[in-house]
Amino acid sequence: MSAIATPQNSEHYDVIIVGAGPAGCACAMALKNSGLRVALIDKHQFPRDKVCGDAIPGRAIKFLHEIDPQFAERLAAFTEKLPTRSTLCYYNNKKLDFTWTLEAYTVTREHFDNFLFAAVKNNSEVHTVEGVSVSDVVRSASGYTVIAKDTNKRYDCTMLIGADGINGVTAKKLTARQMDRKHHVAGVRAYYSGVSGMEDTCTEVYFDKKYLPGYFWVFPIKGGLVNAGMGILSDMVVSNKINVKNAFYDFIDRSPVLKEKFKNAQPVGTLQGCGLPMGSRWVSMSGDHFLLAGDAASLIDPVSGDGIGNAVLSGKLAAEQVTQCFANNYFSAAFVKNYDQILYKRAGADMRRKTRVLKTMARMPFLFEAAFIVGQNRIIKKFMK
């Protein structure tokens, strides 16, 4: 549907979603056939790169199937993906391998996010706006006004969905949340060619006592490349004065397996950094006339480092809550809080449990090693799913 024209260089929508990553796109897709006027705004032109591990977990695919009845057909035609059927975990020369039952893939975020965004663009009910940075969100009598950075154009809405990530405007403006280094990860990622001993359908994860509870990943992607990266708790980075980019190369040197794999490898592009807001603390993610989803709501799994699964779930649940708000013509913080509660039951409680386990193992690394010795997948798989 088209927007309602309003005075002073403004457009009005029922719902505005800021950020067209997996959370924002999932929300827009789930609002199809809602009868609501929806706008999806992103600061980038698609396709665009995104620093990430490029692993698309089974949970994300499962939720996308639930959102979009045509998703299976679209996914089958999407040729940039590699299926992931197993994962190898290494620690102190010990190895665990396990298989995945859910449909999962590796694919660059440039391709995957563009794949989702294209599905939204094909929906005539959603107005997509690319290349527009948001400078501010301002409370209005009927909801919120989203202000474009360069043009000062205004987009008015009754419900605002903030899905613009860790550094986005919405979470900063709508909540009093501050970054907590104990619940934040500093990550780096690079692409490599010529990494030996890789199987296209198998991802690899490495642990080192020096960097626990952080880890190193090597994920195959299409074209014979791998996505290699690592993440370390920001609190540990500051207290131990760690240079994360140097730690990336140190991790490879300290692992005989990685050192052999990367012996003849060549970087493709540069090593890039990112910040990851972990779901190890539960934060405020809603209020009068607004919801936060994805990284803006700090939903990254504290064990696996996956943010896409909970991003898609939160986008889906945000759409369901928005639909209820309009059905009841009720947009108060108390009513919208239902979103937080359902999301906690679906994801938050599990992340809290994982956080307790992770902290215990980080304090007592011998327990981590014991898990590799006696767990035989049952422990590790349970907490990395």
User: Which phi and psi (to 5°) does residue 206 adopt?
Assistant: -125, 140
Average pLDDT, integer, range 193-214: 95
Least Cα distance to 133 among 146, 152, 147, 149 occurs for 149
What range defines the domain where residue 350 resides? 4-83+105-179+279-357
Residues 129 and 268 in one domain: no
Q: What CATH code is carried by the domain that includes residue 143?
A: 3.50.50.60
The answer to whether 216 touches 229, Cβ cutoff 8 Å, is: yes
pTM: predicted TM-score of the whole model, two decimal places = 0.93
Sign of CA dihedral 67, 68, 73, 78: negative
Residues 216 and 300 in one domain: no
Residue 321, in any domain of the structure: yes
The answer to whether 288 touches 336, Cβ cutoff 8 Å, is: yes
Average pLDDT, integer, range 205-211: 93
CA distance 290 to 333: 8
Sequence-distant (≥ 6) Cβ neighbours of residue 374 within 8 angstroms: none
What's the number of domains the chain is made of? 2
pLDDT at 359: 78
Residue 177: exposure state from Cβ atoms within 10 A (0-12, 13-18, ≥19): middle
Residues 120 and 185 in one domain: no
pLDDT at 356: 85
**Which helix or strand (DSSP H or E) is residue 268 part of?**
strand 266-277
CA distance 278 to 234: 11
Residue 59, in any domain of the structure: yes
Residues 68 and 8 in one domain: yes
pLDDT tens sequence across 275-330: 999 999 888 899 999 999 999 999 999 989 999 999 999 999 999 999 999 999 99
Residues 236 and 345 in one domain: no
Q: Determine the 3-state secondary structure of 292 from DSSP.
A: strand
Residues 124 and 239 in one domain: no
pLDDT at 366: 75
Give the DSSP letter of residue 3: P
Residue 78, in any domain of the structure: yes
pLDDT band, residue 90 (cuts 50/70/90) = very high
Least Cα distance to 30 among 293, 349, 332 occurs for 293
Residues 299 and 369 in one domain: no
Neighbouring CB atoms inside 10 A of 121's CB total 18
Residue 25, in any domain of the structure: yes
pLDDT band, residue 374 (cuts 50/70/90) = low
Residues 346 and 302 in one domain: yes
Average pLDDT, integer, range 19-26: 98
Residue 193, in any domain of the structure: yes
Long-range contacts of 350-356 (CB under 8 A, 24+ apart): 351/279, 351/280, 351/299, 351/301, 351/302, 352/280, 352/282, 354/301, 354/302, 354/303, 354/383, 355/280, 355/302
Residues 230 and 167 in one domain: no
Residues 76 and 126 in one domain: yes
Residue 166, in any domain of the structure: yes
Q: What CATH code is carried by the domain that includes residue 225?
A: 3.30.9.10
Residues 46 and 115 in one domain: yes
The overall average pLDDT reported for the chain is 92
Residues 64 and 130 in one domain: yes
